[in-house]
Amino acid sequence: MKIAYSHLIGCINENPTVDEMSDRLFQLGHEHEIYNNIFDMEFTPNRGDCLSVNGLLRDLGVFYTINSNKDIYQEAIDKLSIDFENLSKEVCPKISFLKLEIDKLPEIYCGDLKNYFSDLGINTNNFFTDISNYLSYETGQPTHCYDANKINSKIIFEEIQYENEFETLLDKNISLKEKNAVFLQNNKVINLAGVVGGKSTCCSDETKTVIVECAFFNPESIIGKSVKYDIQSEAAHKFERGVDPECHDDVLRRFVKIASEHAVIKSLSLVTHNYQDKARHKILIDIKKINQIIGIDISKDKYISHLSKLGFDIDGLFINVPSYRSDVKTQNDLAEEVARVIGYNNIPSTEIKIPKNISQYDKGIENKIRSFLLDQGFYEVINSPFVNLKNNNCIKVDNPLDSNRRYLRTNITSSLVENLLFNERRQKDSVKLFEISDIYSSNNGIHKQRNLALIASGRVGLNYEDFSLKINEKYLMNLFKKIFPDQIFNFQAVSRNDLDTKNKSEILSLELGVEDFSKNILEYDAVSKPPIDFIQYKPISELPSSFKDISYSIKDYNKAEELQELILGFEHKILNNIFIFDYFKNEKQNEIKIGFRFIFQSRDKTLTSIQIDKVLNDIISKSLKISGIEIPGYNLD
Amino acid sequence: MSSYKDITSPELIKDIGSLHPINNMKDSIMDLLASIGFEIVDGPEIETEEFNFDMLNIKKSHPARQMHDTFYVEGKSNLLRTHTSPVQIRGMLEKKPPLAFISGGKVYRKDDDATHLPMFHQVEGIYVDENVSFAQLKDLIYKIIHSLFGNDVELRFRPSYFPFTEPSAEVDILSKDGKWLEILGCGLVNPIVLENCNIDSNKYSGLAFGLGIERIAMLKHGVKDIREFYKSNLDFLSQFK
């Protein structure tokens, strides 16, 4: 909700700046952003009472002297005789109607009404609807305006449970379904209560006699209606959060006052139907409890002083809760009010000492396997459980975000296959992935199993010993024998026939319940450790990478180390990675052969061979300055 | 005869993988809390409305329960948990105070953009004992935030609203560019929730807190788009060794 700083400051004696007021609002728990001296407020759902200028001023009264200068009509008002019947009093326990006739419609607005539309850049509608909208902003109470000439028979309020068609004043036709609180005239819906009025009875630019409806609706009856019928409704937003049941007289008298500032009032009458005399909520004064909840030690005087700043008053042994604070019901609620006045940041912290628990959660086997897989070059992934493939016993999501993914996966391997193909498309020729996740299925109830799955394809690794080795079943068997000496694992070959890929490397996978792994795990000293410092992630390129290989022949062994240092330390913005993929020492011929692979990739453009060759030539020319080193077949000229 | 210094082979760089950065972040937060005294508990991702909402004082009419916010499964008989709090409810029903639980794991909400995903991770904790206060909660939150962001980080507590805590707070840290960033939600356990778990709220009080792991990981690692975490891209994952 947008509230202009100028509309608040006009009622505050101390004249705080926008930034000072902003700090105070944060202390009170009112999150916001500021644009052009307008507070864009995001109130928590329990604070419906703050959804107005007056509501926010009530809270700011904790810090400032509030001088509300909003005049209301003070004269006696005749009782309105209106043919109205309430058939759902529990949904609408209080309702008032004001009938007002003016001599002529104003050409321009003045005072608060003018400022509201100009300061917030809001479009006007018609005179009475404009007053209604402004009053909702000023007081927090939505009202609805009927053109009195269109109300020609009995109005009935009822929570109906039958289907009905309704045309809103915004020209939208909606089919009402299930329970809806409505106003009816001649069995036709003229108003979806608390949400939006109807076309047939709304005010127009010609309306000079209005019937203003001011009601308290049970929030439970309004909640969800604006979403259900896709109607943006500020009124519903307020009714859903609860309005002040005691404000009707003041709000309608303020309506009259604003109308009288723009036109001559020709006739005026008002009636209130109160079906439920609701006593104000009282809470026992219990300073000890409040001090215990917050962890402070304040006196009764201080306690009462804090609460009185928020409009609470004392009634003997009790705190009287203001009618607009329907959210305050318990000692914990009062504690929060006191803490807000003190300021959460000003409450000193007290050292917490939790008795150490004995039973520590043991992820034993799971963490051992994770650690082991990491050391074998496997990367842990996490996949979404939503899939499009319906398997036996899979669980169906009633309301999926994407209708193509309306089932929960019954295995992890299918997700890993997708991950593998994704990385192969990014020129990765060694892919080793694993995931541990709960998997759910439905068969006479919901069943959960914690699975570990892995997938591997391509080169065993990128170092010169593993580079030419391909991942196969034997490799994986030998790997797992290192820690599970007595368990036989059934690695599955995943066929590429149905996969969208031209890659021919064998794909192997394994999926097993964590519980199904043998408890006989050989002690294993992990090499990899979680990072100590938090790594700053470098954005990755979505563009294709290219690689180039250079093989050197080194006759002078002393120069081998120098060459490695030079090559592996070479840096360029398009050079993504360098590693030694081949190494061979031929003692007989007194020669070392060493192969380097260079991976090129740019973040912002696809690289051309000219750009790559330029960098490569630079590397070659620098490396060949080392004596006793040559690139077989490479001509320096 | 010429003599030469033989060299060893080039260093054989073993290809080591990495833990997923979200799991790694979750584990490090859980380890910290376990060292303070919290017991780690686990629970199902498919929950009932009773445990996910009712027991936590989230009323039938609360917007979070609508179909547009929560994933329901199997003809609305169950749902994908929207937070890890139901695990703590189960814990409180099983054990008597004093108790201190943490639970971490996947949770689901119907969101999908650069900062929200339908699946994300939370770590939540609860401590119930006699005379647990907001002042103690503040101490705990300072410990958590300082361990994550260093002792010099500036933080602020703001009043907020959660149906299961009262008073409730949100905690922000001040970023290097002067902006306040929301880090976690916390509060004193609403006595209604304690009573729902058969705990005498006149004798016991509790504190509770919850952190979104992705949000913390994005801040710590400088990841701008939450979706990066779940592409399973080796160029991304290999940065977190």
Give the pLDDT confidence of A268-287 residue by residue, as tens digits. Answer: 999 999 998 777 899 999 99
CATH number at residue A503: 3.30.930.10
Min CA distance, A289 vs chain B (Å)?
Answer: 9
Q: Using 50, 70 and 90 to split pLDDT, how confident is the model at A542?
A: confident
CATH number at residue A314: 3.30.56.10
pLDDT for A476? 95
User: ipTM of the assembly?
Assistant: 0.93
Min CA distance, B153 vs chain A (Å)?
Answer: 14
The model carries a pTM of 0.89
A379, A364, A577: which is closest to A483 by C-alpha?
Answer: A364
Task: Please list every residue in chain A whose beta carbon sits closer than 8 Å to the beta carbon of residue B15.
Answer: 377, 430, 461-463, 466
**A265 falls within a domain:** yes
d(Cα A369, Cα A516) in Å, to the nearest integer? 13
**A7 falls within a domain:** yes
d(Cα B76, Cα B62) in Å, to the nearest integer? 16
CA angle A257, A240, B67 (to 5 degrees): 150
Min CA distance, B145 vs chain A (Å)?
Answer: 14
Selected residue of A329, A379, A419, A562 to mutate for chain B interface (largest B Cβ count, 10 A): A379
Task: Please list every residue in chain A whose beta carbon sits closer than 8 Å to the beta carbon of residue B205.
Answer: 292-293
Average pLDDT of A20-37? 96
pLDDT tens digits for range A166-201: 999 989 999 999 999 999 999 999 999 999 999 999
Average pLDDT of A391-398? 89
Indicate if A327 and A179 belong to the same structural domain: no
A332·B233 Cβ contact <8 A: no
Task: Please list every residue in chain A whose beta carbon sits closer than 8 Å to the beta carbon of residue B174.
Answer: none
Domain finish residue from A14, A31, A60:
A60
User: Chain A residue closest to B203 (CA)?
Assistant: A289
DSSP codes joined into one string, A329-349? -SHHHHHHHHHHHH-GGGSPP
d(Cα B56, Cα B194) in Å, to the nearest integer? 9
Task: Please list every residue in chain B whose beta carbon sits closer than 8 Å to the beta carbon of residue A352.
Answer: 36, 127, 136-137, 139-140, 143
B35 Cβ under 8 Å from any chain A Cβ: no
pLDDT for B5? 41
- Sign (positive/negative) of CA torsion A216, A222, A223, A227? negative
Query: Considering all CA atoms of chain B, what is the largest pairwise distance in Å, rounded to the nearest integer?
Result: 94
Q: Is A7 helix (H, G, I), strand (E, B) or coil?
A: helix
Min CA distance, A272 vs chain B (Å)?
Answer: 28
CATH number at residue A608: 3.30.70.380
B19·A357 Cβ contact <8 A: no
B98·A355 Cβ contact <8 A: yes
Q: Using 50, 70 and 90 to split pLDDT, how confident is the model at A211?
A: very high
Indicate if A12 and A89 belong to the same structural domain: no
Indicate if A482 and A372 belong to the same structural domain: yes
d(Cα B141, Cα B158) in Å, to the nearest integer? 13
A419, A319, A436: which is closest to A374 by C-alpha?
Answer: A436
DSSP A168: B
Indicate if A268 and A143 belong to the same structural domain: yes
**A635 falls within a domain:** no
pLDDT tens digits for range A82-125: 999 999 999 999 999 999 999 999 999 999 999 999 999 999 99
**A318 falls within a domain:** yes
Burial (CB < 10 A; 0-12, 13-18, 19+), residue A151, is: buried
**A107 falls within a domain:** yes
Q: What is the tally of structural domains in chain A? A: 5
Min CA distance, A239 vs chain B (Å)?
Answer: 13
Task: Please list every residue in chain A whose beta carbon sits closer than 8 Å to the beta carbon of residue B45.
Answer: 438, 440, 448
Q: Using 50, 70 and 90 to split pLDDT, how confident is the model at B178?
A: confident
B17·A408 Cβ contact <8 A: no
B37·A355 Cβ contact <8 A: yes
d(Cα A453, Cα A461) in Å, to the nearest integer? 20
Residues contacting residue A506 through CB under 8 Å, at least 6 positions apart: A457, A470, A471, A472, A493
pLDDT at position A624 over 70: yes
B17·A347 Cβ contact <8 A: no
Nearest to A373 among B17, B143, B223 (CB): B17
Domain finish residue from A254, A274, A294:
A274
DSSP B153: -
Indicate if A334 and A383 belong to the same structural domain: no
pLDDT at position A231 over 60: yes
Q: Using 50, 70 and 90 to split pLDDT, how confident is the model at B44?
A: very high
Nearest to A28 among B17, B98, B159 (CB): B159
Q: What is the mean pLDDT of chain A?
A: 92
B10·A428 Cβ contact <8 A: no
Selected residue of B4, B7, B190 to mutate for chain A interface (largest A Cβ count, 10 A): B7
Give the domain extent around A33: 2-60
Average pLDDT of B158-169? 96
Average pLDDT of A552-573? 88
Tokens standing for residue A1: 């909700």
Min CA distance, B134 vs chain A (Å)?
Answer: 5
Indicate if A514 and A576 belong to the same structural domain: no
Q: Is B46 helix (H, G, I), strand (E, B) or coil?
A: strand
How many A/B residue pairs have CB atoms within 8 Å? 285
> A12's torsion region: left (phi>0), alpha (psi -120 to 50) or beta?
beta
Indicate if A236 and A162 belong to the same structural domain: yes
DSSP A469: P
H or E stretch covering B140 = helix B134-149
**A70 falls within a domain:** no
d(Cα A619, Cα A552) in Å, to the nearest integer? 12
User: Chain B residue closest to A531 (CA)?
Assistant: B241
Indicate if A107 and A201 belong to the same structural domain: yes
Task: Please list every residue in chain A whose beta carbon sits closer than 8 Å to the beta carbon of residue B238.
Answer: 379
Task: Please list every residue in chain A whose beta carbon sits closer than 8 Å to the beta carbon of residue B117.
Answer: 384
d(Cα A408, Cα A417) in Å, to the nearest integer? 16
Task: Please list every residue in chain B whose beta carbon sits closer than 8 Å to the beta carbon of residue A339.
Answer: 134, 159, 167
Q: Using 50, 70 and 90 to split pLDDT, how confident is the model at A461?
A: confident
pLDDT at position A338 over 50: yes
d(Cα B96, Cα B114) in Å, to the nearest integer? 42
Indicate if A365 and A429 belong to the same structural domain: yes
**A68 falls within a domain:** no
Domain finish residue from A523, A557, A575:
A523
Min CA distance, A398 vs chain B (Å)?
Answer: 5
Cβ atoms A344, B169 nearer than 8 A: yes
Q: Is B226 helix (H, G, I), strand (E, B) or coil?
A: helix
User: Chain B residue closest to A359 (CA)?
Assistant: B39
Cβ atoms A230, A80 nearer than 8 A: no
Min CA distance, A448 vs chain B (Å)?
Answer: 8
Indicate if A552 and A514 belong to the same structural domain: no
Q: Which residue has the tokens 């729902």?
A: B196
Average pLDDT of B183-187? 95
Indicate if A98 and A243 belong to the same structural domain: yes
Q: Rounded to 10 degrees, what is the CA torsion of A488, A527, A377, B232?
A: 110
pLDDT at position A205 over 90: yes
- Window 75-104 of B: residues touching A by CB (8 A cutoff) are 75-76, 78, 80, 98, 100
B80·A432 Cβ contact <8 A: no
B1 Cβ under 8 Å from any chain A Cβ: no
A408, A397, A413, A384: which is closest to B106 by C-alpha?
Answer: A384
B7·A561 Cβ contact <8 A: yes
Per cent of chain A over pLDDT 70 is: 97
Indicate if A115 and A206 belong to the same structural domain: yes
pLDDT for B6? 45
Task: Please list every residue in chain B whose beta carbon sits closer than 8 Å to the beta carbon of residue A336.
Answer: 159, 166-168
CATH number at residue A137: 3.50.40.10
B72·A398 Cβ contact <8 A: yes
A461·B221 Cβ contact <8 A: no
pLDDT for A357? 63
pLDDT tens digits for range B201-219: 999 999 999 999 999 999 8
B82, B78, B94: which is closest to B41 by C-alpha?
Answer: B94
**A73 falls within a domain:** no
DSSP A385: S
